[in-house]
Amino acid sequence: MPAYATLEELFARLSHIEQAQGMLHWDMATMMPSGGAASRARQLATLKAVHHQMLTDGKVKDLLDAATAEPLDDWQGANLREMRRDWLHAAAVPGELVEALSRACSASEMTWREARAAGDFAQVAPLLAEVLRLTREVAEIKSQALGVSPYDALLDQYEPGGSTAAIDAIFEDLGAFLPEFLGAVLARQPALPAGPAGPFPVERQKELGLRLMGRLGFEFEHGRLDISQHPFCGGTPDDVRITTRYDEADFMSSLMGVLHETGHALYERGLPVAWRHQPVGRARGMSLHESQSLLIEMQASRSRQFLAFAAPLMAEAFGRRSGGWEVETLYAINLHVKPDFIRVDADEVTYPAHVILRYRLERALIAGDLDVDGLPGAWNEGFRDLLGETPPDDRQGCLQDIHWYDGAFGYFPTYTLGAMTAAQLFDAAVKAVPDLQVAIAAGDFQPLLGWLRANVHGQASRLGTDELLIRATGRPLDAGVFKDHLRRRYLGEEAVV
């Protein structure tokens, strides 16, 4: 059998293992009783070890080398490139280290759930320290194999080809813009209108979320909506699992969380079926994945056009109690800007500051310039410098996100890169598709989804992130598009040309 065909068979089996891990992680976050934590940690560690053994078998490198001499089409060539990238990441790290990190992450994550609820950082600190120790070891090993810094080696797991040099330049541009802009927005904040009065029963919130998911294009025969402590999208492209959390005093927060995760799900479902179990068939990095969720949530669903369609459905879902369901009222509520301690509750203007804080802290943690015991103080100081307030406790500070406790270092920058990418893609879609906003106002999302399928979803990992963005929008990532979007939405200014 040709080398490339042999590799396709191997990577299909690896994909099935990855998808089984994904479903076990979903169950752990939603359905699994706490007593199953130790057993689940062993299951996941074993699957990771098997996956690692298969990928790093001595024959794989020979097959990769041999396949380069075989005639391959464009998609196959890109698939071989992604196979080699996966192999490079895996071959650099000993199997026992992979298994040890998996066990440490599972233990840390489960304890984090209790520690966060109690606001007790000390409870999880030793487990986080072990995750960090092992992650630093992985980062150092991978940095040697990839020829990049330890942090960039971790970043590459989530953002292929990403670098701190590129992120620093983008964040410096955005960081210079945000303080003055935030001041101007806060100075012009109107009195918050009297929105709809709660309580908003959870069951009705769920029904509304399901209805809007369907209108956006979510296929319920290939997915479901559940509850978790931290909203996320998981599962597989053929069985997409999204979660949210509910607040009976604030239906909009949960709803926007549902729509955000639906954006992730639509990306997964739009990946090319022919390449479903190959590396080239995966989503192209987390900045693009975040762009798809934020495009649906921030660009489309918080617009006047979307609310023209959705406001009557919202009122109907909650029995049309009292006033506050007018489009302009709901739109004004979504324009409310106020620094918040919790990242997932932050508004569009202050959200980048949350990401920049985490980016700085995790770089310091990986470099050894900050240890776990110093994390709460460094977090509080950094938050005060960026947003002018100090979190009252660790639950609203360094305990709020699951990422580090689950070993996801290098992930956070992709959130703001994704927001910027979302603005640029939506701007291009509006210019490319006649009457796109009119269709959204009518509750028709197929024109938008069709453009995304052709320009983002259907491309999977065939192209690099930069090349995909240039082809779709005509330019590389440009902070100016995101800044223009913020000026229009929050200050009513025209774009700066």
Q: What would the DSSP string read from start to end of 40-54?
A: HHHHHHHHHHHHHHH
Average pLDDT over residues 244-253: 93
Mean pLDDT of the chain: 94
Q: Is the peptide bond before 272 cis (omega within 30 degrees of 0)?
A: no
pLDDT at position 97 over 80: yes
Residue at 359 is within a domain: no
Residue at 432 is within a domain: no
pLDDT at position 322 over 60: yes
Q: Give me the half-sphere count of Cα atoms (radius 13 Å) on the Cβ side of residue 97.
A: 17
Measured distance CA(37)–CA(130) in Å, rounded: 18
pLDDT tens digits, 26-77: 999 899 998 998 999 899 989 999 999 999 999 999 999 999 999 999 999 9
What is the predicted pLDDT for the residue at 494? 52
Residue at 18 is within a domain: yes
Average pLDDT over residues 480-496: 84
Q: What's the domain count of the chain?
A: 1
Close Cβ partners of 398 (under 8 Å, ≥ 6 residues apart): 121, 375, 376, 379
Measured distance CA(408)–CA(131) in Å, rounded: 10
Residue at 370 is within a domain: no
pLDDT at position 495 over 60: no
CB 407 within 8 A of CB 135: yes
Residue at 103 is within a domain: yes
Average pLDDT over residues 141-165: 96
What is the predicted pLDDT for the residue at 496? 42
CB 322 within 8 A of CB 197: yes
Residue at 282 is within a domain: no
Mean pLDDT is lowest, of 245-249, 266-270, 370-374, for 245-249
CB 408 within 8 A of CB 399: no
Residue at 10 is within a domain: yes
Average pLDDT over residues 271-282: 97
Mean pLDDT is lowest, of 27-31, 83-87, 372-376, 443-447, for 27-31
Could you list the active site residues?
261
Percent of the chain predicted with pLDDT > 90: 89
Q: How confident is the model at residue 320 (pLDDT cuts 50, 70, 90)?
A: confident
The residue range of the domain holding 15 is 3-149
What is the predicted pLDDT for the residue at 192? 75
Residue at 96 is within a domain: yes
Residues of the chain by 3-state class (helix, strand, coil), percent to 5: 70, 5, 25
Instruction: DSSP for 68-97, please give it.
Output: TTS---HHHHHHHHHHHHHHHHHHTS-HHH
Helix or strand (DSSP H, E) at 55: helix 37-55
pLDDT at position 321 over 70: no
Helices (H), 56-199: 58-67, 74-91, 95-118, 121-146, 150-158, 164-187
Helices (H), 188-250: 202-216
Average pLDDT over residues 108-120: 95
Tokens of 273: 């079926």
Give the neighbor-by-neighbor strand order of the sheet with 233-236.
Answer: 223-227, 239-244, 233-236
